[in-house]
Amino acid sequence: MFKKKLNQTTNNVRHLIAKINPKSPISEQYRTIRTNIQFSSIDKKIKTLLVTSSEPGAGKSMTAANLAIVYAQQGIKTLLIDGDMRKPTIHYTFRLGNLQGLSNALVDGLSFNRIAEASDIDNLDLISSGPVPPNPSELLASKQFERLLTEASDIYEMIIIDTPPLLAVTDAQILATKLDGVIIVARSGQTEINQLQESVEAINKVKGNMLGAVLNDVDKTDNTNYYYYG
């Protein structure tokens, strides 16, 4: 169904701690986030998740990638989509080609099977951004995207979409109306509280389901129950 799995080494992946060292305290924190998401909604199962941030550099793409890995490690068939068609990173992280991806599907109508790729992690498939288009927000708001999401939802138990920062462009707000839940990644010492408040308000304004925030780059060296992102 999908392209052949790519050979990867720990030297060729960026920040995939949940794959490289699944027993580390950081990986355990990702599993905790996964559990919190799974129990965050009583009435409706969270099957599609948007991961964003207030500003660039908060670690949203790293968080999305590692969350996707811990879902897959639990035996949940998972799809990670690079919905950041402005500054995509997932193809670098997982060493994918990026000549065909999400933008091709939305512009040219490529089928889901043409753009999805199997990772070298069991239960985890990937869709890269594809070539950067001139109108990402319009593409994400299109019927083509809804078709793709419906098609993927018939196959996968969990779909995670990485998007551009909330306060920079409207892409994340557009997707928040289509997905089951939203988490915002904030970086300790960088993300300002007013930025986080504005981001939450932006999601609430479009009636998105705000699940919570992930605080990244926390230094708790005096307590091994916490973790530090370098």
Q: How do residues 61-120 score in pLDDT, each as one tens digit?
A: 999 999 999 999 999 999 999 999 999 999 999 988 898 899 999 999 888 888 999 999
Hey, where are the domains in the chain?
10-216
Mean pLDDT score, 192-215: 94
- Residues 139, 3: Cα–Cα separation, whole Å: 24
- Residues 163, 154: Cα–Cα separation, whole Å: 22
Looking at residue 140, the DSSP 8-state letter turns out to be H
- Indicate the pTM of the whole model: 0.89
Give per-residue burial for 138-158: e unless 16+ CB within 10 Å, then b. Answer: ebbbeebbeebbeebeeebbb
Q: For the CA atoms of 213, 12, 136, 80, what is the dihedral angle to 10 degrees? A: -60
**Sign of the CA dihedral running 78, 68, 98, 118:** negative
Fold of 10-216: Rossmann fold (3.40.50)
Mean pLDDT score, 21-29: 93
* Residue 161, CA atoms < 13 Å, CB-side half-sphere: 31
Give the pLDDT band of residue 221 (cuts 50, 70, 90). low
